[in-house]
Structure 1
Amino acid sequence: MNSFDLNDIFKKNVGEFILTFSEIEFGLGVMISYLENGIQDTPLKPDIIGLNLDDKRKRIRNGLKENSELSKLWSKIEGKISDCNEFRRLIAHGIVSNHLPNPSLQGLIKVKTRNGVKGFKFKDITNEEVEKKLKKLIDINSGKIGLGVLNSEIKEWKKIKSQC
């Protein structure tokens, strides 16, 4: 396979990573709606769907305070999301260049502020890293300890709670 074909595969994986992360963010908004409004209500609330990721994570955490089992499951998922979000930020906001013949991206990441001056350093991102993070996102979305399971558990919990 030539360098241009490898670069196309790399770009496809980067795009798939970004799209999968967006699906997860949307799903978190739906989950918040179920937690706050119940399962009978429409989950597509613009004021919830449009929240930033940190606010979504906080609202889910708050919504699960009454259920320690689901709260523990969310904590496991949330840690994985945090890791992937740092990687997403690098790809979405820090790309400097795309290199051939060995497909990779170079991005800028923030480093600790020293003497009041923000610093940056370069980070190379390889296709292998993107594939690894993409697999992690897929697991977050639909794995045994994933958002699909949590969403189902939340719906069941809310359904039972509404019947009491």
Structure 2
Amino acid sequence: MNPFDLNDVFKKNVGEFILTFSEIEFSLGVMVSYIVKGIEDNPLNPDIIGLNLDDKRKRIRKGLKDNSELSKLWDKIDGKLSDCNEFRRLIAHGIVSNHLPNPSLQVLVKAKPRNGVKGFIFKDITNEDVEKKLKKLIDINSGKIGLGVLNSEIKEWKK
């Protein structure tokens, strides 16, 4: 495969990662709606769907605290989601350049201050990195311990 075809595959994977993450974030808003307003209410409440990701995660955690089984399931999902969210931030906010012939992204990441001086480090993200995180997102979304299962359990609980 020539370098330009490899770069196209890489960009497709990056796009699929971002789209899958957006789907997950939307479904979290629906779950918050079910937890807060019940399953009979319209889950597309703009005040809930429009919350930022951290607020959705906090509301889910708070809403499930009285159901230890669902809370444990959420904790497993949320741990995976944290890792993928950090990766998403790198892609969405830190891209400096896209390289050929070896497709990768170079991102700029804030570094911990040294000697009181703030700084940045560069990090490369490869296609393999994106594929690995994309598989993780798919598992979060539809795996045996995923949001589809949690959503069904929440709906059953809130009936």
For this structure pair, what is the TM-score category when the shorter chain's length is used for normalisation? over 0.9
Separation in 1 of the partners of 2:146 and 2:120? 33
What does residue 99 of structure 2 align with?
Answer: 99
Q: Which residue of 1 aligns with 2:55?
A: 55
State how far apart, in whole Å, the 1-side matches of 2:49 and 2:20 are.
16
How far apart are 1:115 and its partner, in Å? Answer: 4.3
Separation in 2 of the partners of 1:118 and 1:53?
27
Question: Match of 2:75, as an amino acid?
Answer: S
Question: For residues 124 and 48 of structure 1, what CA distance do their matches in structure 2 show?
Answer: 35
Change (3 A) 1:33 1:131: same
Q: 1 CA distance for matches of 2:64 and 2:72?
A: 9
Q: Percent identity?
A: 87
Aligned to 2:17: 17
Q: Deviations over 1:114-136 (max 9, x none)?
A: 34432210000000000000000
User: Following TM superposition, where does structure 1 have runs of at least 4 consecutive aligned residues deviating by more than 6 angstroms?
Assistant: none
Q: Where do 5+ consecutive residues of structure 2 fail to align? A: none
Check if 1:28 corresponds to 2:28. yes
Deviation at 1:112, TM superposition (A): 1.0
> Are residue 77 (structure 1) and residue 77 (structure 2) matched?
yes
The TM-score with structure 2 as length reference comes to 0.98
Q: What's the TM-score, normalizing by structure 1?
A: 0.95
Partner SS, residue 96 of structure 1: strand
Q: d(CA) in 1 for partners of 2:93 and 2:22?
A: 15
1:12 Cα offset (Å): 0.3
Q: 1: CA distance between counterparts of 2:86 and 2:121?
A: 15
Q: For 2:140 and 2:90, how far apart are their aligned partners in 1?
A: 19
Deviation at 1:106, TM superposition (A): 0.3
